[in-house]
Amino acid sequence: MKIFVCVKHVPDSAATIRIVEPNEIDETVTFLLNPYDENAVEAAVQLKSEDDDSEVIAVTVGKPAAADTLRSALAMGVDRGIHVITDHWPDSIVTARALKAAIVQDGDSGLILTGKATIDSEGFQTQFRLAAALDIPVATNVGAITRHDEGVIVTCGLEAGDEQVIRMAMPCVIGAAKTLNTPRYPTLPDIIKARKKAINEVEIESLGIESPDSQMEIVGLRPAVEARRKQIIDGPPREAVAELIRRLDEEVKIKLR
């Protein structure tokens, strides 16, 4: 079975993002494997360890520098990579079509994993568009996966802390949540091994993707400034902490006790 993991090359969440007018960011900051995609990679590698006949393939759509992110996935245990090269930041419609074309070109997929979101655009769309384009089921915010007959049973986190258990036929698309697993980080020998693994480079134009009727375009970027409401609690530490707990408890409604 082929397990595809869709990964994205995103700016480090710890980076100070500078906007380059009008609609780009300064790309000299560190870029890395989207953190939710790390959970998807880990899940794929774990599924493979239960099934010797499986192969895990990481797919990305991105600029040439995105090869680094594929190498990160390879170092975590992915077998090989497919890099759909583009000079632009495609929207989720084009990205989903490119992922579909690259996956179909590679062969029949058993399972497709993604992160539940990317930390740069946070569009929450690509996984659904990909499933729709392939006409297969999709579940997101997945915290547990078990193989079941010819399909999978997944547990999805809902708002308010509820969970939903879904049975899906395969192939299907699964959007990984942080709660799915703890991603393994590679050792240097893993990283060295990954340098020799194959990455198939595909120019996006060669995939013959149908141009969508309409497309999203980023016309401007603005920094998000969070307005903080600072409250200072004075007094001796013991009393100040008690007051802090009271406010968190009664005003913010966080149950600490």
> Site residues for other proteins, window 185-214 (CB under 8 A)?
185-189, 191-192, 195
- What's the start-to-end Cα distance of the chain, in Å? 48
Tell me, rounded to whole angstroms, the distance of Cα 97 from its chain centroid: 17
Phi, psi angle pair for 173, to nearest 5°: -110, 135
What is the number of residues in the chain? 257
Write the binding mask 24 to 53 for other proteins: x where contact by CB under 8 A, - elsewhere.
Answer: -----xxxxx-x--x---------------
- The distance of closest approach from Cβ of residue 9 to other proteins in the complex, given in angstroms and rounded to an integer, is 11
- The distance of closest approach from Cβ of residue 142 to other proteins in the complex, given in angstroms and rounded to an integer, is 21
Residue 240 sits in the site that holds other proteins (CB under 8 A): no
Residue 158 sits in the site that holds other proteins (CB under 8 A): no
Residue 158 or 188 with smaller CB distance to other proteins: 188
Residue 180 or 209 with smaller CB distance to other proteins: 180
Residue 35 or 143 with smaller CB distance to other proteins: 35
Residue 184 sits in the site that holds other proteins (CB under 8 A): yes
10 Cβ neighbours under 8 A, 6+ residues apart: 31, 32, 33, 34, 118, 119, 120
Q: Which stretch binds other proteins (CB under 8 A): 16-24, 42-50, 102-110, 249-257?
A: 16-24
Residue 12 sits in the site that holds other proteins (CB under 8 A): yes
Q: Choose, by CB under 8 A, the member of 1, 15, 67, 166 that binds other proteins.
A: 15
Interatomic CA distance for residues 67 and 84, integer angstroms: 10
Residue 112 host element (H or E): strand 111-115
The angle formed by the CA atoms of residues 21, 91 and 99, to the nearest 5 degrees, is: 140
Following CA atoms 24, 26, 30, 34 in sequence, which dihedral angle do they give, to the nearest 10 degrees? -10
Residue 161 or 223 with smaller CB distance to other proteins: 223
Q: Which stretch binds other proteins (CB under 8 A): 8-16, 88-96, 148-156, 206-214?
A: 8-16
Interatomic CA distance for residues 68 and 36, integer angstroms: 17
Q: Choose, by CB under 8 A, the member of 47, 56, 62, 72 that binds other proteins.
A: 72
- The distance of closest approach from Cβ of residue 36 to other proteins in the complex, given in angstroms and rounded to an integer, is 12
Distances 202 to 18, 89, 241 between C-alpha atoms, Å: 30, 16, 58
Is the C-alpha dihedral spanning 66, 72, 73, 75 positive or negative? positive
Site residues, other proteins (CB under 8 A): 12-18, 29-33, 35, 38, 72, 184-189, 191-192, 195
